[in-house]
Structure 1
């Protein structure tokens, strides 16, 4: 990804943080060892939803934490990440080889804020603004999502079904009645609030993508 990025992670105490971390780092790579790309060694990245990429490092200069703290982030109860089925999805895009789609409406505000401050010069998000136009394109061009696996080849229908079953067995709810016969209230559908990371995604190898600043929504 060019430049730096802003990620939204589940709160560290939320069950999804541990569940997604295990799926990403061990369960899914062991299912298909050949899936690991040369660019992912080890095949691990923190569980997250990307709010925006393309942030110039010159914007935060030598004080990334100060810059991140200056953004007027919404309160935790105003941010809801909710998964959207059916099932896990796969596309012919390296960062969307295997992912869970996220419902747009609940993350539109925080993603727009991230884009406005990180890329578009702190503009007001109003009809006709660059950020408003980006938000209109975002669902089609990027697809709000939580990645589970990176790679150069999309998953086959058979493998995708197998991955979906493993994700649901881990306790993540992707549909009202999951493929294992579970009922709607028995799985975790998403998270509220979270932690925003500023990550230099443009220059480092994926295994080195660590936060250079973080801000917990409160």
Structure 2
């Protein structure tokens, strides 16, 4: 992948993060023992192509802290994780699709790309930004039951968490849908990671991170 990248990472204390990490680092390697599986951290790529020269006059953490982001996330961001999708390139062979519903996620990606790649040029950033959509997985339909199990584990853990709200009586299909979405959603401190993706995959570790509070993750 050319240049460095900015990743959006789920709250690291959430059951969503734990389930995805187990899926990517333990479950999938056990399903494909003869395949070399890089230990990707669960993330959504906001932008790649960041030149190392961006940090020539400062350290990466100071650069990321100073990067302009939309204030308060605008109206907030819902990251909706959906079905498994098959792609073509190495890092998109099989992914969990991220549906972008309210424009907030794309807007965050545009701001990141404008500031990190195009020197603040939002027009160029908007014209070259592909809607963020990846959680890296593996190369076989064997992943489908593994994803289902991971999702159930995440939801069960969220329901058993001390701060989970008590169940309320359903008021019909709309309320049932709302209750189901609440059980499958995670609010907390997400973070933007700066990762040197121009290096070999084994060296894709977080170099700098910046916390953000206005992201909700939903696993449909």
TM-score interval for Structure 1 and Structure 2 normalised by the shorter chain: 0.7 to 0.9
1:95 Cα deviation after fit = 0.6
8 Å CA contact 1:79–1:192 kept in 2: the answer is no
Is the aligned partner of 1:169 residue 2:148? no
Give structure 2 stretches of 5+ with no counterpart.
156-178, 214-220
Q: Deviations over 1:170-204 (max 9, x none)?
A: 336xxxxxxxxxx944852565651111111102x
CA spacing shift, 1:168–1:212, aligned 2, 3 Å? closer
How many Å separate the matches in 2 of 1:193 and 1:96? 26
Secondary structure of 1:148's counterpart equals: coil
Give structure 1 stretches of 5+ with no counterpart.
173-182
Is the aligned partner of 1:201 residue 2:197? yes
Match of 1:95 in 2: 91
Q: Deviations over 1:58-111 (max 9, x none)?
A: 112241111101112243672321113xx3122232111221111223411110
Aligned length: 186
1:133 Cα deviation after fit = 1.1
Match of 1:155 in 2: 140
TM-score (norm 2): 0.74
Root mean square deviation of aligned Cα: 2.6
8 Å CA contact 1:80–1:190 kept in 2: the answer is no
How many Å separate the matches in 2 of 1:210 and 1:71? 20
Greater CA radius of gyration, 1 or 2? Answer: 2
How many Å separate the matches in 2 of 1:194 and 1:45? 17
CA spacing shift, 1:112–1:191, aligned 2, 3 Å? farther
